Every structure is written in C-alpha cells, then in structure tokens.
Amino acid sequence: MATHKETAKEIVLKIGGRENVDQVWHCVTRLRFNLQDKNKVKLDEIKQIDGVMGAQFSGDQFQVIIGNKVAEVFEEVEPLVGVGGSSNSKNREKQGGISRILDTISGIFTPILPALVGAGLLKGFVALFITFGWFSSKSDTYAVLNAIGDGVFYFLPFFLAVSAARKFKTNEYLALAIAGTLLYPTFVDATRGITDISNFTLFGLSFVSIPVVNYASSVLPIILSVLLLKYVYKFIRSWMPSSITVMFSPLLALLIVVPLTLWLIGPLGTNIGNGLSQVFAWLFEHAGPVAGLLMAGLMPLIVMTGMHYTFAPISIQNMSLYGFDNVLAPTMFISNLAQAGAAFGVALRTKNKELRQLGISSGISAVIGITEPAMYGVNMKLKRPFYYAMISSGLLGAFAGWYGFKAFTMGGLVGIFSIPTFADPSGEAGNLIVALVMLALAIILPIILILIFGFEDIATEDQTSGVGKVEKGLAEAASTITSMEGESKTADVFSPLTGKIVPLKDVSDATFAQEIMGKGIAIQPADNRVVSPVPGIIMVLPDSQHAVGIKGDDGQEILIHIGIDTVSLRGKHFKALVKEGDRVISGQPLIEFDRDAIQAEGLDSVTMIIVTNTADYLDVLPVNEKGQIFEEEQLLSIVK
C-alpha cells in the first residue's frame, strides 16, 4: 500500500507536473485540478495509481477520486504544486474567441449580480409606487430610496473594477483607483456643464487631448482599462527591484494606465458601448416586430449557449443612455413565461402522473424566472412543447417590439417578481399594463397550442410493464437475504431524506454511477435537510458542507453527497448542524440545504447515499429501486 506522499507524487507527475497546474483543491472524495494543458494528462496511468479509485474530466476540471483519504493526499499534493497551483497560464489550451468573451463577461458580471439585482428591484418598486400614487417623486422618501437603488448603477465602474481585477488576476485596489479617477468630481462637473472645460491636456502635449466623457454607469471603459492594468503592472513588477517595488510599481502603473484610459481607452470603450446600444435601438425602432420576434423566439437557444451574458453590458448601456432597456429584459420576460406555460400545458395533457407533477413544479419555477427545470426537464425532453414555447414567445416578442415594450431597471430573476421593473418612473401606466398582458398571454398561448396539437406523451410504467421495478427489487432483495439466512446477518441503513429514489446507475456523475466509491442509492430530495441514516460518529464534514461521512456503530462507513459538483458552491446554500467528531443518533438532522437555490445555480441536487467500505461486506442491497421514500424509512440492507 503506497503512502499518501507517494500517491501524491505519482498524481502530480502524471498530470504534467507542477507547471501544468493552475489550481488545485479538494472536496469530500476528490482532488480537483484546473490544468493548463489537458493533453499532458495520462488518464489511464492515473487510474492505476495505488490509492486512486478513479479519474475523469468534468468540463474544464480534472478530478482524481481518492475517497475518504482525500484530505491526507491533498496535504501532500499542495506543496508539490504550490498554494493554489501555478499562476503561469502561457501554455494553457486556448479557448475559442467567442468562448473566451462569454467566459470573461460572465465571470465579471456574475459576482456583482446581487448588488445589481437588489438595487434594480428597489428602483422598480419605487417606480411602481409612483405609478400607484403612493408617494411623490419630489418627496424625501423618494430621494432616499432612489439614492439607494441608483447608487449601484451610478458607481457601477467601482463594482466592475473589483470584479474585473479578480477575473484578470490583477490588483483590485489599483483597479479601484482607476474607477475613482473616472468618477472624480473634476471630470463629472465638466460633463454636467458646471465647469466650461471641454477637454484636458496633459504635460503640455497638445496631441494628448483628454475628452470630457460621462463614465457614470459605464461598462466597457473600466473593463478594458483593468485588462490593460494587468499587463502593465505585471511588466513593471518583472524588472522593478524588489526593495522598491512596493512603492514604485503601483505609481508607474497608475501613471501609465490612468492617462491612457482617460485619453484613449475610456472614450473608445464608451463609443463601442454607445454604438452597440444605438444599433439595437435602431433595430427595435425601425424593425421592432422582426427584432422582437427573433430575440424573444430564439432566447431559449441564446440562454442555452450562455450568449445572453453578452447582452448584459448592452442592457446597462441602454439604461444609461435612454433610461430603459428594450432588448434583453422584455424578451427574456416573455421567453421565460412561455417556458412556464409549456410546462403547465404538459401537466394538463399528460397521463403520466410523474410528468404531471414535474410540469407543475417546473412551471412554477419558470414563472419565477428559473427556467432550467421546465426547459431541460420537460419541454426539450418532449420537443414539441419547447417549439410551442418558442413560437409563442416569438409572436409576443414581435408585438412587444412593435409596441416598444421596455424595462426601466434591472430586477434579477426575470419572471413574475420582475413586474415592478416595467413600471415607468414617470408614472404612466401603459408599459406596466402591457407587462401584465404579456405575463398572461405568454403562459396561456403555449398551453393552448399543446392542448390543440399535443405531443408524444411518456408512457407510465404500468402501461409498459405488468410487473413494476419496485416489486421486482423487493423480491430480489428478499430472496438474496433469505438465501443467506443462517450464514450471515444484515444491517439496515435508513433514508436520510424525503424524496424520489433514483438508481445509482442513473446518476450523471460516473464516479457514483459506476460504483467507484461503493454501492448505494440516490434520492432526488423533496425537502431541504439531511438526517443521519444510522447511529454513529461524524468522520468527514468538509468546509463546503455539501457532504458528510458517518461511521456507523456497526462499522458501516456511509457517505451522503448532496448534489452533483456542488463542491463548486463552496458552502453556499448549505448549513451544517453538526461537526466532525460528533456522535449522532439515527434521524438526527445533519445538514440543511436549499435545493431550489442549488438548482438555480444550474446544478443537480440529487443526493447519493454510498457505503464506501462496500468491500468489507458480502453485498449492499437497496430495498427499493424507485418510488417515493421518507426520512427514516429502510433504504439499504448491508449483508455481512
């Protein structure tokens, strides 16, 4: 048996060495690597390393399955590759241009969404209150609430500076210094006409004419300037003597980047942003029905590819220039609700009880603005409902483009709760009425199309088989246990949560599906907590809190893993109720989690219950292989 140090050395060697590692961390059972060159990985040889249970690529991430000893192996891997891995990425496999742009925009905007969503929704409610006449736009209350809501958007360059600096891996505080200059009162006053300055010169150089530009709520100028900062600051530090680099590297970086930003990059970014906004404004003004038809009708495909992120800067730029967005929010509003309507239509027409329940639950989720369950779980699976949703949203999008349907602020999830964002701050009710009409029609039209034209329904198990898998599973389990009576005995593992049983082979993660970690069963949770399936001791509880390992009093080692790849959430949406070393009894709550929030992040919340020391037993048998199960019902039988 190899030591953990030997295992770690072999793994690092066969993934291409220290220089091929950008980042490494671990979850409950796996080492996770971000690598520069995937082609250097010797996958088959890694699987043969003593102490490694399996290895696989998951997206851009390479995973080495270790099992319960992953923390010990990680402790040996970390010093071999350096903390966080190497930061040198010059040999990294190149992404396509579009893929890189999408990744960059997504990576910059995603962290600041809570601020944008909260502030935007507040602005929407303020506009709604004015429309209803609940307070005046001249009142002190309006002034305070508007400042809270508008402050994020006015000072958006500050938020983008931090987020872009983290994405580009450069100094956040230097990035903030650039943003501070862009919004410094000297330049702001000039844009407002408070001073009569039309441009600034620098160092007496006549050709360096810095134009007066309003950078409030701007997007591209600060992102481009932080990208420049990354290379300038890195270059300066590469030759600056270490004894003075702390003082003079930031000084020179600011003296180079900020003037270039004010002179060239800022105006260029502003003109690009304004140009894109004007193009879309022209399209919706002169070809509104066509633009609305294409945007709303194709929005599900745009969302699937992630390209909707590229419209976020345009949406913000439109609000800055014109005071509204008629491109992204209105068309997503219509599209999301059409997906909800299609799911509801499936629920009304199907004869499959499980599909009906899924249609209702995913439809409700889509009405709120979370479309993935409806789109992937129901509509795309059945094909026709997906087409009906696209047709319906396309038709309504054409009307919206003709009418000039607008959103006046951002509002987070684009669904029923984003209605206030369509309230005109002037108090006019027309746009808000159209939003309510769009809400109703986007849901009703797909339902009508489904009821008229139908779809190919999914037959229930009773229609396709005379004997259900549940009864078969029970019979096989009973037969096996009975045949071993007198020679061995069994231990029970009880269900740690309420939900729907999923055979392990149907889980999307190959590590669990192929029983690399051990035998067990999976459950699609119906509530938001996990309880202990046996009395025992908590042996493993990572900081991410997405999994827990228990050593039962009968010696069984049980891993409860909540969701697929949920380690990436780093503890978000999870709350541990116990700690390592605690003694627990059967049925004691262990972890609380938010399954809806997990699914909203695009992750599967299916929960695996694995007996990781399966090799110590004759067999591990699920009592049932399908159907509903409740907390503390018998789930597994372990044959000793």
Give me the DSSP letters along 22-77. EEEEE-SSEEEEEES-GGG--HHHHHTSTT--EEEEETTEEEEE--TTHHHHHHHH
**444 pLDDT tier (thresholds 50, 70, 90):** very high
Q: Is the pLDDT confidence value at 297 over 50?
A: yes
Q: Where do we find the tokens 């034209």?
A: 453
Task: Please say whether the dihedral angle defined by the alpha carbons of residues 561, 563, 569 and 574, taken in this order, is positive or negative.
Answer: negative
Angle at 468 between CA 464 and CA 471, to 5 degrees: 170
Structure-model confidence comparison of residues 276 and 59, the more confident one = 276
Contact 73, 49 (CB under 8 A): no
Nearest CA to 84 out of 138, 27, 18, 136 is that of 18
For 71-81, what is each residue's pLDDT tens digit? 788 888 888 88
What is the model's pLDDT at position 117?
Answer: 67
Phi, psi of 152 (to 5 degrees): -60, -45
Q: Which of 190-199, 252-261, 513-522, 600-609 has the lowest mean pLDDT?
A: 190-199
Q: What is the pLDDT of residue 225?
A: 94
**What does the pLDDT read at residue 87?**
40
- Percent of the chain at pLDDT > 70 equals 87
Q: Is pLDDT above 70 for 330?
A: yes
Please tell me the predicted confidence (pLDDT) of residue 392: 95
User: Could you tell me the pLDDT band of residue 39, with boundaries at 50, 70 and 90?
Assistant: confident
Cα(625)–Cα(635) distance, integer angstroms: 9
6 SS3 class: helix
Is residue 430 pLDDT above 70, yes or no?
yes
Q: Is 533 helix (H, G, I), strand (E, B) or coil?
A: coil
Tokens 């499936």 -> residue: 346
The DSSP H or E segment spanning 300 is: helix 288-305
Of residues 60 and 637, the one with the higher pLDDT is: 637
| Catalytic machinery residues | 27
How much of the chain, in percent, has pLDDT values that exceed 90?
29
d(CA 64, CA 361): 36
Show the tokens assigned to 330: 């209105």
Contact in structure between 227 and 168 (CB atoms under 8 Å): yes
pLDDT at 171: 92
Q: What is the pLDDT of residue 373?
A: 65
Q: Does residue 365 contact residue 596 with C-beta atoms inside 8 Å?
A: yes
Q: What is the biggest distance separating any 2 CA atoms in the chain, rounded to whole angstroms?
A: 99
What secondary structure, in 3-state letters, does 562-605 show? Answer: ECCCHHHHCCCCEEECCCCCCEECCCCEEEEECHHHHHHCCCCC
> What's the confidence (pLDDT) of residue 60?
65
Token reading at 482: 């009975």
**Residue recorded with tokens 């599973």:** 473
- The predicted model gives 176-189 an average pLDDT of 91
pLDDT at 315: 79
Reported as a pLDDT band with limits 50, 70 and 90, residue 63 is confident
Exposed, middle or buried: residue 477 (CB in 10 Å: 0-12, 13-18, 19+)? Answer: buried
CA-wise closest residue to 340 among 412, 444, 437, 456: 444
Select the more confidently predicted residue: 120 or 621: 621
Average pLDDT score over the chain? 82
Q: What is the mean pLDDT of residues 103-129?
A: 73
Predicted local distance difference test score (pLDDT) of residue 428:
86
Average the pLDDT over 481-487 and give the result. Answer: 42
User: Hey, is 558 helix, strand or coil?
Assistant: strand
pLDDT at residue 5 tops 50: yes
**DSSP state for residue 375 in the 8-state scheme:** I
- Which pLDDT belongs to residue 133? 78
Tell me: pLDDT of 86 over 70.
no
Among 246-255, 305-314, 395-404, 580-589, name the one with the lowest average pLDDT: 305-314
In the structure, what pLDDT confidence band is assigned to residue 207 with cuts at 50, 70 and 90?
A: confident
pLDDT at 628: 84
pLDDT at 366: 81
Tokens of 365: 């989720």
Q: How far apart are the C-alpha atoms of 229 and 261, rounded to whole Å?
A: 10
How far is residue 129 from each of residues 133, 323, 427, 432, measured CA to CA in Å?
6, 18, 9, 12
Residues 393-424 as b/e (b if ≥16 CB within 10 A, e otherwise) read bbbbbbbbbbbbbbbbbbbbbbbbebbbbbbb
pLDDT at 91 over 80: no
Q: Tell me, what's the pLDDT at 107?
A: 67
Q: End-to-end distance of the chain based on CA atoms, in angstroms?
A: 25
Tell me: pLDDT of 127 over 90. no
| Residue-level pLDDT at 474 | 40
pLDDT of residue 338 exceeding 80, the answer is yes
Pairing, β 589-593 against β 547-552? unpaired
Residue 280 and residue 284: Cα distance in Å, rounded? 6
Q: How confident is the model at residue 484 (pLDDT cuts 50, 70, 90)?
A: very low
pLDDT of residue 178: 95
**Of 131-140, 146-155, 344-353, 394-403, minimum mean pLDDT range:** 131-140
Question: Is the confidence at residue 483, as pLDDT, over 50?
Answer: no
Cα–Cα distance for residue pair 34/61, rounded to 1 Å: 5
Kind and range of the H or E element at 550? strand 547-552
Neighbours of 369 (CB within 10 A): 20
Q: What is the pLDDT of residue 537?
A: 92
91-100, 389-398, 430-439, 562-571: which range is least confident on average?
91-100
pLDDT number for residue 468: 42
The secondary structure of 187-206 as a DSSP string is: HHHHHHTSS---EEEETTEE
Average pLDDT over residues 54-68: 74
Q: Which residue from 124, 184, 120 is spatially nearest to 431, judged by alpha carbons?
A: 124
Give the pLDDT confidence of 555-605 residue by residue, as tens digits.
889 999 999 988 888 889 999 999 988 899 888 999 999 999 998 888 999
d(CA 212, CA 440): 46
CA contacts within 13 A on the Cβ side of 511: 27
Closest CA to 417 of 204, 120, 208, 630: 120
**Does residue 535 have a pLDDT over 80?**
yes
The average pLDDT across 224-243 equals 92
Checking if the pLDDT of 53 tops 80, the result is: no
For residue 468, give the amino acid letter. G
